[in-house]
Structure 1
Amino acid sequence: MPDVATQTQPYLGAALDWVGMDGIEMSVRFDPGDGDVQRSSARVGAFVNLTQPDQRGIHMSRLYLLMDEYLSAKTISAPMLEHLLRAFLESHKDLADRARISIRFEQLIRRAALRSKNSGWRAYPVSIEASLDADGFHLDLGTEVVYSSTCPASAALSRQLIQKQFTQDFEAAKTLDHAAVLSWLGSEKAIVATPHAQRSVAQFRVRFVDDATLNLIALLDRVELSLGTPVQTAVKRVDEQAFALANGGNLMFCEDAARRIKHAFDADDSIADFHIRLEHQESLHPHDAVAYASKDIQE
């Protein structure tokens, strides 16, 4: 059968940075770090460069069949993806010398409640970007954590109003009655103001050192522990109270949150590089507060 992709184009010739497919529907297998390999529906992008200026195109069906062979049957890992990218180049010998693949899916992970014995599922978005070129093999793992952030400035202003209400309800010249103060603290009258908090999102992409395992759960645990207030699944009153306590003990601007995650990643020897984006979806403003951070690599 004729193959017009092999025809040369001497008058329109040019080498191309990347050629391939994106948004391919694929089944993938992934171990998030607990040994529980899940099969997920993914969207995949596969590309090689085109080094021959007069070559009309690449063999996209070869890339597709290789992806189907590898991703459907094998669990995603750094060695597996490197082998797949080498197979991409082998299938395009004399046409390409660089290859890359992107994989996006959601990973369900069971998360325990703060105080009760309950637990529930969280779906974490996962993005894996792998490339192979003259500089070697590189792999980045991206995901996000949703958390609550309580504004430190709003908390301070709220405390000031509570103090003001206290001075109005209890005269300074009179001896304080313990029972009366305790009752006042438990009333709605005492809490005349509350600090504003908002749902916030930490998006991050990390590059692991060579031979490091793609441990998603360990990465999520490190970030959620550094923030202190990740959103919850199953919640009883004891859990909600613990969450309120965690918010009160973790007041943060977006700058604070970015620094917390940066310090956590800097302390992890398995992470070679990272990029962080923090978004606090303001409840006070109609716009968001945003901060970025990355690894300081010394030349």
Structure 2
Amino acid sequence: MPNQENTARLLPDVAVHAQPHLAGALDWVGMADIQVPVLFDAGDGQVQRSSARVGAFVNLSRPDKRGIHMSRLYLQVEQALSTQTLDASMLHALLRGFLDSHKDLSDRACLSIQFEHLVRRPALKSANSGWRAYPVCIEASLTSDEFLLEFGTEVVYSSTCPASAALSRQLIQDQFASDFDAGQPLGHAAVLAWLGSERGIVATPHAQRSVARLRIRLVPGADFHLIGLIDRVEHALGTPVQTAVKREDEQAFALANGGNLMFCEDAARRIQKALDADAALGDFHVRVEHQESLHPHDAVAYASKGVEGGYGSTP
């Protein structure tokens, strides 16, 4: 029986054999959808373990080499992400490890991580609370000594159309004029009763579930503060979707919608203003999508910080 050392020496490795007729450098080579746990602190000091999908890539700069060492990438991803909390320094070190293990093949490395992070959100009025799962996408790249780090998430909210609200108010006025003779005196009790009846709300503005998709580029030295980012955006919009809802919460949500009428342009500008005030954000890209109940298509707006050489707003 051959010993283990001899057996390993006999295993073929066809990747080392060049194919001159297919020589050429490749932009990226690696693996997508690696399944691995990640440890993430969203900014509240609570490290949460989540199931992630990871992409790990390096370029293949040597035209004469057939392939990279994918197992090296996988083992580094598994070891780092399953044991260390995600932060900028850890991701930088991981990408540096990619390049160090491919010294003769690569000079660029990139990494993408996608998972969901659970955040407990309080109800608007009642003492209840519930969980919201916010998607997180982290992208990091290293070229020579240039390290770029971005992360993204989504905020789901309700948007009530200002034009539809104005048209609904006009119809309510028309109904009031029809139900009450202009020449007759009005009593407080009669008007109050009318306002509480179905005739007092003959039309309602259309509203819809809407999504703000955020992509953030951090300044050097900044780290992930997902909850702070979500709080700023949800506060700017005023109508984030809710979790646990009692009647008093639903009424408060209706009040919030009435006080935050917005087109998609309004929503994009609200978010833009809120993110512009954060010095930790080197750049950002926002895509606002109002999934209309009036139309079979969506209303969409884009916004960015507008820094030179940064994100554009092309759809």
Q: CA deviation at 1:9?
A: 2.3
Q: Identify the residue that residue 131 of structure 2 maps to in structure 1.
A: 121
Q: CA deviation at 1:10?
A: 2.2
Q: Identify the residue that residue 60 of structure 1 maps to in structure 2.
A: 70
Structure 2: distance between partners of 1:26 and 1:266: 34
Structure 1: distance between partners of 2:162 and 2:182: 28
1:21 aligns with 2:34: no
Alignment counterpart, residue 109 of structure 1, candidates 113, 119, 125: 119
SS state at 1:35 partner: coil
Q: CA deviation at 1:256?
A: 0.8
1:31 aligns with 2:38: no
Structure 2: segments with no counterpart, 5+ residues: 1-10, 310-315
- 1:108-257 pair list within 5 angstroms: 108-134=118-144, 136-257=146-267
Letter in 2 for 1:252: M
Residues paired across the two proteins, number: 299
SS state at 1:200 partner: strand
State TM-score, norm by structure 2.
0.93
Structure 2: distance between partners of 1:160 and 1:189: 13
- 1:65-84 pair list within 5 angstroms: 65-84=75-94
Letter in 1 for 2:192: L
Q: Structure 1 residues 176-185 or 51-60, which shifts more?
A: 176-185
Q: Structure 1 residues 132-141 or 109-118, which shifts more?
A: 132-141
State TM-score, norm by structure 1.
0.98
Structure 2: distance between partners of 1:123 and 1:20: 29
What is the Cα-based RMSD across aligned positions, in Å?
Answer: 1.0
Q: CA deviation at 1:135?
A: 5.8
Deviations 1:51-88 (A, max 9, x none): 10010000000000000110010000010000000000
Structure 2: distance between partners of 1:27 and 1:6: 32
SS state at 2:85 partner: coil
% identical aligned pairs: 71
Structure 1 runs (4+) deviating above 4 angstroms are: none
SS state at 1:256 partner: helix
Structure 2: distance between partners of 1:270 and 1:239: 34
Q: Identify the residue that residue 3 of structure 2 maps to in structure 1.
A: none
Q: Identify the residue that residue 50 of structure 2 maps to in structure 1.
A: 40
Q: CA deviation at 1:227?
A: 0.5
SS state at 1:190 partner: helix
Q: Structure 1 residues 234-243 or 132-141, which shifts more?
A: 132-141
| Shift in alpha-carbon separation, 1:254–1:99, aligned structure 2, 3 A | same
Q: Identify the residue that residue 7 of structure 2 maps to in structure 1.
A: none
Letter in 2 for 1:121: W
Letter in 1 for 2:195: L
Q: CA deviation at 1:298?
A: 4.5
